[in-house]
């Protein structure tokens, strides 16, 4: 309220921004369901966004798994609960850390890339050229990228979860010579569907947010070469912020529909 009285212009600008980006997102959704479908572009973006991000996600997951186990081991051993380490590892990564970190990594790498590429196309008037060719530049450039983000994030999240589990096992094996079979048995002991499927599928929302925000900044920028850098930066910042905020909402929604997933 104070903000509204003191700074009414900025509020209007903020609300206008919300409205514009919401209409942009609505246009993405409606355009995605209308033919013609750009399968080739979508497939290409899956490779660009998904396959190219895999090394980053896998390495991060492995490292995080090792670090997580090292921390939890020293703590849980104090309570004589070392047998809980695999379960703690799997639940924490599958439910929250895996989806969130994978989304943030994709937002950092892909969001900046999408924003920069589309802003560059706009600045070099290539988007106008596409329009001149009677090709829907929105469907050609934006929709495949957003759809690709939606599709690949659950897969990248799965990679992140399993590499983290692998890292956790390697660290635990080095510490206590725990066998792989027993580690897996303990990791999935008491594991519910709601601990894996809803958290993994919620990353489709993260992918949509990352793709939409990044494409918005890149597709709508009109500031020449300077706008390219700004679009990349804004894409990363806003998409990361939206991912975290959306995660809060999505977790509550998951708890609402899957009470058993609440730890």
Partner 1 sequence: MRNRNIITGAFVLAGIALFALVIFLVGNQRKTFAKHVEFYTEFANIDGIMKGSKVRVGGFDAGEVTDIQLPDSPAAHFRLTLSVVERVHGLIRPDSLVSVASEGIVGDKLLQIHPGSANLPQAAPNSTLRSKEALEMSELLERSAGLLNDVSGTMKEVSTKLTGTLDAATTTINNANDLVVGIKQGKGAIGVLLRDENTARSVRETLANVQQATASVSDASMRADRLVSDFESRNLGEKVDQTIASAQSAAQNVDASALQLRQSLTSALGPDSHGVDAANNVRQSLSNVNLASSNMVEDTEALKHGFLFRGFFKRRGYYSLANLKADEYRSNRSLPAATNTRAWLDQPELFDNRPDGSEELSPEGKAKIDEAMAEFGDGAFGRAIIVEGYSSTGDTGAQFATSRVRATLVRHYLQARFGLDSRDVGIVPLRGVPPPSTNKKTWDGICLVLLKPRASAR
| Residue closer to partner 1, measured from CB, 116 or 153 | 153
Query: Cβ of residue 71: shortest distance to partner 1, in angstroms?
Result: 19
| Residue closer to partner 1, measured from CB, 89 or 221 | 89
For 35, left (φ over 0), alpha (ψ -120 to 50), or beta? Answer: beta
Among 37, 41, 54, 76, binds partner 1 (CB under 8 A): 54
Q: Is 159 among the residues that bind partner 1 (CB under 8 A)?
A: yes
Query: Cβ of residue 145: shortest distance to partner 1, in angstroms?
Result: 14
Q: Is 39 among the residues that bind partner 1 (CB under 8 A)?
A: no
b/e 67-92 (16+ beta carbons within 10 angstroms → b)? ebbeebbeebeeeeebeebbbbbbbb
Distance CA 126, CA 248 (A): 39
Q: Is 121 among the residues that bind partner 1 (CB under 8 A)?
A: no
Q: Could you tell me which stretch among 135-143, 182-190, 204-212, 218-226 binds partner 1 (CB under 8 A)?
A: 182-190
CB–CB of 190/91 below 8 Å?
A: no
Q: Is 51 among the residues that bind partner 1 (CB under 8 A)?
A: yes
| Residue closer to partner 1, measured from CB, 199 or 218 | 199
Among 89, 195, 221, 240, binds partner 1 (CB under 8 A): 195
Residue among 48, 64, 62 at smallest CA distance from 112 = 48
**Alpha helices per DSSP H over the chain:** 2-6, 8-33, 39-45, 54-78, 85-92, 98-106, 112-123, 126-132, 137, 143-176, 180-187, 197-201, 203-220, 224-257
Summarize as ranges the residues that interact with partner 1 (CB under 8 A). 43-44, 46-47, 50-51, 54, 94, 152, 154-156, 158-159, 161-162, 184-185, 188-193, 195-197, 200, 259-260
């Amino acid at each position: 309220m104070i903000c509204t009285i003191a700074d009414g212009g900025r509020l209007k600008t903020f609300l206008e921004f919300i409205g514009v980006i919401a209409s942009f997102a609505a246009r993405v959704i409606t355009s995605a369901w209308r033919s013609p479908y750009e399968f080739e572009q979508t497939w290409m973006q899956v490779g660009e966004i998904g396959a190219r991000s895999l090394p980053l996600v896998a390495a991060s997951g492995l490292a995080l798994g090792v670090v997580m186990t090292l921390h939890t081991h020293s703590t849980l051993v104090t309570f004589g609960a070392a047998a809980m380490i695999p379960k703690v590892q799997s639940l924490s990564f599958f439910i929250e850390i895996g989806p969130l970190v994978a989304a943030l990594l994709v937002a950092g790498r892909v969001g900046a890339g999408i924003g920069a590429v589309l802003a560059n196309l706009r600045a070099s008037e290539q988007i106008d050229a596409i329009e001149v060719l009677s090709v829907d530049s929105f469907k050609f450039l934006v929709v495949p990228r957003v759809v690709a983000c939606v599709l690949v994030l659950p897969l990248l999240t799965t990679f992140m979860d399993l590499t983290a589990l692998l890292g956790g096992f390697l660290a635990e094996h080095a510490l206590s010579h725990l066998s792989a079979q027993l580690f897996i048995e303990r990791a999935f002991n008491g594991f519910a569907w709601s601990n894996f499927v809803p958290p993994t599928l919620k990353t489709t929302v993260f992918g949509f947010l990352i793709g939409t925000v990044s494409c918005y900044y890149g597709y709508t920028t009109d500031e020449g070469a300077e706008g390219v850098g700004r679009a990349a930066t804004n894409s990363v910042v806003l998409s990361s912020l939206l991912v975290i905020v959306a995660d809060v909402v999505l977790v509550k929604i998951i708890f609402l529909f899957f009470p058993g997933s609440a730890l």
